[in-house]
Amino acid sequence: GRLDLPGGFAMSERLHGSNVRDLQTTAVLDRETDEWVITTPTEADHKEGIGNAARHGQMMSVFAQLVIDGEGYGVHAFVVPVRDEDGHMLPNVRIEDSGYKMGLNGVDNGQLWFDGVRVPRENLLSRFAQVSEDGVYTSPIPSAGKRFFVMLGTLVGGRIAVGSGSNSAAKAGLA
């Protein structure tokens, strides 16, 4: 509530829109340094329309394909710093403003690219999966598909609530 650490939610990608399961940003475990290497593979795979990214966000929850030793474990969320305390972009991060929109121009929307950004292994948001110090992936949810739906279930409910609320507001306005 005090905006001590401005952040954002970096899920959507330009080429994949709301098809989160097939997003292309990767988080590859580097066993030697015990870090995740976050990479946007192509120019068009960038994170798109991310709130609080263009000017103010310092820390992002970045959704990426988790990869260990060449094996993919599906989409997971990682805490990734993008700016320092003074607002300067961190190395290997590129940020651009999303520009003028039809509405809500006060919202600081931006685009993000990651070129081998390194974050500690502990930056994996690990409610539904963990990766041990020796690089072993575990999850109480055995299926990658179920893990994906459990992780995104809250978002789906939120999107339904926004749509439902908009419908109610339109009905009231028309009445």
What per-residue confidence (pLDDT) applies to 153? 66
HSE at residue 71, side-chain half, CA atoms within 13 A, is: 7
What pLDDT is stored for residue 42 in this prediction?
92
pLDDT of residue 125: 93
pLDDT tens, residue by residue, 37-77? 999 999 988 888 888 888 888 999 999 999 999 999 999 99
Q: What would the pLDDT profile of 153-167 be if each residue is shown by its tens digit?
A: 666 666 666 677 777
Label residue 94 by pLDDT band (50, 70, 90). Answer: very high
CA distances, 91 to each of 22, 116, 138, 148, 175 (Å): 26, 9, 31, 30, 53
> pLDDT tens across 102-138, in order?
777 777 888 999 999 999 999 999 888 999 999 999 9
